[in-house]
Amino acid sequence: MAKYLLIKHYRGAPAAVNDVPMEQWTPAEITAHVQYMNDFAARLTGTGEFVDGQALAPEGMWVRYDGEGRPPVTDGPFAESKDLIAGWMVIDVDGDERAVELAGELSAAPGAGGRPIHEWLEVRPFLTTPPTGTE
């Protein structure tokens, strides 16, 4: 089994087929979308393939260590981060083929008008061995 991160983007990926921003959806369309995501996660929980998933709020900030005895430095929020990641899901599957299959299914979550979004999802395998200095 291998873990994969499925990343849902607000913007930055190629345009979805049903490319209506969520802020323009009706409450019923948002409810249907969230229900699809919950049902998808529940089904994968049943097969042992679901690890975790979360939707992210648009707010956020950058934090940096600024030296011993000094408080962390914060700045933001930055529009770039809230525009980038809407949420994520971690799955634990047999390999790339199954990760791609599930990402394709998740991409069909309903959006505006109840039609599938057919959004692009970023699929990233977890690093299983640390990189070496030569990589």
- Among 24, 4, 19, smallest CA distance to 120 is for 19
pLDDT digits (tens, 9 = 90+) for 86-119: 889 999 999 999 999 999 999 999 999 999 999 8
Does the predicted TM-score (pTM) go above 0.85?
no
Where do the structural domains in the chain lie, given as residue ranges?
A: 2-57+84-125
Check residue 106 and report its DSSP letter: H
Spatial distance between the Cα atoms of 111 and 3, rounded to a whole number of angstroms: 27
Q: In this structure, what token pair is assigned to residue 53?
A: 């998933």
The DSSP secondary structure of 26-41, one letter per residue, reads -HHHHHHHHHHHHHHH
Q: What is the CATH number of domain 2-57+84-125?
A: 3.30.70.1060
Q: C-alpha 97: how far from its chain's center?
A: 19
* Block residue for tokens 């996660």: 41
